[in-house]
Chains A and B, each alone.
Chain A
Amino acid sequence: MRFLLVEDNLELAEAVVKRLGLDGHAVDHAACLAMAEDCLAAADYDLILLDVMLPDGDGREFLARKRAALETPVIVLTARSQVSDRVGALDQGADDYITKPFDFTELEARCRAVLRRRGGSARNEFKLGTAVFDPNSGTIVQADQTIDLRNREIRLLEVFARHPGQIMSKSQLLDRLFSHDAEVTENAIEVYVGRLRKKLDTVGVRIETVRGLGYRICP
């Protein structure tokens, strides 16, 4: 997927780009509205992450101005938390908002929710053996059979699908699957991997345990 991040804080932007890159998304970064205009003119994006306070203007005004000609879904990043502000962002055409500082898992969840609402695109699909996995809708389609996955199963499968053959440690998976507000042990990962294995049985895709290191997917 191709994202456009409009954010003037470079450190934050760098971290977001890096993190979303881990999920296989290509993220272009624009530090101001003028740059964002240029990017929008040059490329097609699946999603825009738009900061509200930018050096050359208010992101919401930019959004209101652009909305008519823009098909791309928008998630507004705001430092405020007042409901009125959020409602205002939605009124001006944002598909969702997220309050800084944000949990990447939450950001990903919201992105996925927005993309799902907008119908998504084929670019984000993975071939797993004989089946097709769409992380946006959370389904595996094989012939005329459709397997529904739960949110954490989707996340887990997406991580494996993006790194075929690569060993993912329990600790890595933990950070990708859970936000940090709850104490979760690595045992939880074993539970989710177990569930996913069961669901992938019919597809002919295996998740191998690499003793002492972690897991990897074998298509």
Chain B
Amino acid sequence: MRLACLAFGLGLLAQIGLAQEIEVEAHRFYEGTSDSVVRVISTADLDVFEPFLLEFQRTRPAIGIDYTVTSSTELHRAMTQDHTFDLAISSAMDLQFKLANDGFAQSYRSSATDSLPAWASWRNLIFAFTSEPAVVVISRDDFVRQPKPVTRQDLIALLRENPARFQGRVGTYDVRVSGLGYLFATQEARASDAYWRLTEVMGRLDPQLYCCSAQMIDDVASGKLALAYNVLGSYAAQRIAEDDRLEILVLEDFSNVMLRTAIIPQSAQNVEYAGALLDDLLRAGMRDTPSAWVLPPLSDRRDPLPAAFGPIRLGPGLMVNLDQLNRRAFLDAWESGMEQR
């Protein structure tokens, strides 16, 4: 059965194998005073997550934390194969949701989960603890004499009218590789027809495609890119705080807001500690006082987002774009737009 479900579930994984080694981007072990270890697999970078983990260990020094960073698709693969983790944290809502729907998550209930708003959890299987918008990051130098685009229409017009300036200097996710990029793209395509025109315009400018937000922001900072589209706002905010060459644009027509979610996998061995860690995460997500942690809470009052645009909904609708036929059709359309040469 597991074989069968893998067969359709992850069409993008060309090389399917049983318990294949997963691609680990980073790994760190935080030793505790006892033998207990909670194993966490996450898509969040270490430098983003470390403050939280250290805080957790400060209150529970006995528990060691084994933290593994990987991509959202690798994480999904790890969950559906026989890899043992106690907590899985991912920014790819659709993949996380599908794990929960397909029975790879176990139910968990505590006072923290009970106080979550209804839209931030599903069936006590999957829990959201941040809400993070997708933003545009620009290099200030390139927009000194230029009005900054306010809507996608402005952005399309800007790129179309200044092909020379933006040639090769526009970056976005490679949706074939990045789960989060794919999520942002499919949600945006559903919400606005401007997405395909933007794709087309960007495709003519020899766009740079990335796997991850961090690298895109790096390249904007270095001046290699003038503009990065659909960057994770939380990462960008952290970088801008220390780099004044960067600026965040929040397009006013609409913004995608992603919920970072956590599940306790069915294979979890240390459910108790995973629950404790999850409770702390949820409490951090529901904080209403400013905090040094870069990951924004579920409802961030400081967030300039217009209230009308709620976060992407946790529900079976997310599974539509994971369907292999839909994915194929979407990627075909995307590729034909992005790769015009």
- Touch between chains A and B, by CB atoms below 8 Å: no
